[in-house]
Amino acid sequence: MSHPLKNDRYLKACLQQPVDRTPIWMMRQAGRYLPEYRQLRAEAGSFMDLCTNPELACEVTLQPLRRYPLDAAILFSDILTIPDAMGLGLYFTPGEGPAFHKPVRTKADVTALPIPDPNQELKYVTDAVATIRRELKGDVPLIGFSGSPWTLATYMVEGGTTKNFSEVKGMMYSDPAVMHQLLDKLADSIILYLNAQVESGAQALMIFDTWGGVLSPRDYQEFSLRYMQKIVDGLKRDHEGHKIPVTLFTKGGGAWLDIMAVTGCDCLGVDWTTDLADARAKVAGKVALQGNMDPSILYAEDDRIRDEVATILASYGKGSGHVFNLGHGIHQTVDPAKAGVFINSVHQLSKQYHS
């Protein structure tokens, strides 16, 4: 039994329908900046122990909603669940971030990769989605998500985090056919994964293309956007009589918003390097926009935070189709009280833009 949704501002804004104020959620709103998260993670043992336990993943997802009047919840998970389910051996090293025991470097490596069954190898994710949806009791919608094929490929080929992308770009330039084979397999896996999240209760979807911005414009279209397009085409866009909005977010992708807007997605994420006025002109009403405050502003005084919120709201201007967010994830060293100032400022200052 699913509860009727009490607050659907986020879904409406994604679909450019009228709202009474601009909805807000924060990337990484469930996470390390919250003391209650750090305590739970310490008790759980590790980050992956949190992710793979549906009850704990639910608890982490709900923590920021108890603290702040946010307009959406986002599944607590990791973007590397799919490569992990492909058997690459995901592990985390303190201070270094994620890494894989078995990086993907050859055609044989790519050919050997299985396409994970979301109801088997990734059942902990779909179970978490179902648990969160039940516990939200219709308060706000639940966003499901995945990393983009290019972003997942970057981690898989590099074997972890990287500064110069030499392995993944090396494969892309020296053996593009193998890179396309890998990206195609990832797109197929992501379609299954996101559709399973919808079946389990996700009411909106987001694709994080964290590393699309490191590509040249031509390579971005060929190796990143093409596969996000394939995913958008393969997603379940209606479930139980409701539309499922899809947001694409390429960090550093401000120059390509116009070509992203014609993929058939509903909303585009914008980082802080692009003004929303320019972004809105570029997408010409085809999609909603999400963003786009620099997360570092949360280190500022309260008045400076409020001023920045006012500036961004004015930059987008009147009308629906804006989901307020940070331009990337909240930093782990931010004081949670500053996030509260940010969220309350959006609530107070955005009403004038909706009549």
Catalytic residues: 28, 32, 41, 78, 155
Determine if the peptide bond prior to 292 is cis (ω within 30°). yes
Return the closest-CA partner of residue 231 out of 271, 265, 268: 265
Binding residues for substrate: 28-32, 78, 155, 210, 328
Sign of the CA dihedral running 26, 140, 258, 151: positive
Return the closest-CA partner of residue 57 out of 9, 127, 111: 127
CA distances from 280 to 185, 208, 271, 274, 324 (A): 33, 20, 13, 10, 14
Q: Where are the beta strands (DSSP E) in 15-89?
A: 73-74
The partner residues of 268 in beta bridges, in order of sequence, read: 248, 289
Q: Where are the beta strands (DSSP E) in the chain?
A: 73-74, 90-93, 97-100, 142-147, 204-209, 238-239, 242-243, 246-250, 267-269, 288-293, 322-326
Query: DSSP 3-state assignment of 288?
Result: strand
Q: What are phi and psi of 231, to 5 degrees?
A: -65, -50
Burial, 82: exposed, middle or buried (Cβ in 10 Å; 0-12, 13-18, 19+)?
buried
Cα separation, 22 vs 319, in Å, equals 9
Binding residues: 28-32, 78, 155, 210, 328
